[in-house]
Structure 1
Amino acid sequence: MNPPPEITPLELYSQLQENPNLLILDIREPYEWTRAFLQHPAVLALPMSELAAHGVDALPPLIREPQQPLVILCHHGERSRVVAAWLLAQGWQQVYNLRGGIDAYARQVDGSVGIY
């Protein structure tokens, strides 16, 4: 699999202001959500374990359209890189990995998100 394109935390912040169609898929596990979470209507949470167990059927309905612009995030950007590459291989067209994950977003954009 080819590495997916990436978006930086600052680029994501800007895109959230400019692109109302952009969605963010947080693939961390539920125990991680209590430690840090990006509070935004564009964020949908789906643990990677659910995605691994059920494939594309686990995706929320808003994300099932392969043309949907989508940013994948995890803690540091490694799991999300794998999921973004997998979605691209499944036919999704506008999937990006958040470089550095939610940790980088909290450190570079919004500390209220939380760091763990």
Structure 2
Amino acid sequence: MIDQVRPSDLAAWFAQNADATPVLLDVREPWELQTASVAPQGFTLLAIPMNEVPARLAELDEGQRIACLCHHGARSQRVAAFLSQNGLAEVANVAGGIDAWSAQHDAAVPRY
């Protein structure tokens, strides 16, 4: 089962494994990143559009905690499941996506 982590709880989820720098994997399209994005704070921000994830799987480290982010949480949930099925054990979905990030965590992030 994939962890569902609210944006406000993400730092605590990341902190559960201090061995490696955590990754926020943004699976939205480039135009979406230009519209709204988060600033890395204690994590590495990696943008890989959902359809490119299978071909770029080697860019992800099994030892890192990886939280997947999209617009509302559906695409990122599918990517998180894919990562889990491909051997990455510490994977979560950011519940509600960047829309929830803006509404619940950082109002400076534009909503679209």
When normalised by structure 1's length, the TM-score is: 0.82
Q: Residue 6 of structure 1 aligns with which residue? A: 4
Please state how far the C-alpha of 1:99 moved relative to its aligned partner: 0.3
Identical counterparts, % of pairs: 36
Instruction: Write the letter of the residue equivalent to 2:109.
Output: V
Cα displacement string for residues 76-101 of structure 1 (whole angstroms, at most 9, x for unaligned residues): 00000001011101110100000000
Q: Does 2:70 align with 1:81?
A: no
For residue 49 of structure 1, the aligned residue among 44, 47, 51 is 51
Deviation larger for 18-27 or 39-48 = 18-27
Q: Which runs of 4+ in 1 moved over 2 A?
A: 13-20
CA contact (8 A) 1:15 1:22 kept: no
Specify every segment of 5 or more residues in structure 1 that has no aligned partner in the other structure, as ranges: none
Q: Residue 37 of structure 2 aligns with which residue? A: 37
In structure 2, distance between residues paired with 1:16 and 1:89: 20
CA contact (8 A) 2:66 2:92 kept: yes
What root-mean-square deviation, in Å, do the aligned CA atoms of Structure 1 and Structure 2 show?
2.0
Q: Residue 56 of structure 2 aligns with which residue? A: 58
Q: Residue 28 of structure 1 aligns with which residue? A: 28
Please state how far the C-alpha of 1:16 moved relative to its aligned partner: 6.1
Specify every segment of 5 or more residues in structure 2 that has no aligned partner in the other structure, as ranges: none
Please state how far the C-alpha of 1:67 moved relative to its aligned partner: 2.3
CA 35–60 in structure 1, closer or farther in 2 if over 3 Å, else same:
farther
When normalised by structure 2's length, the TM-score is: 0.85
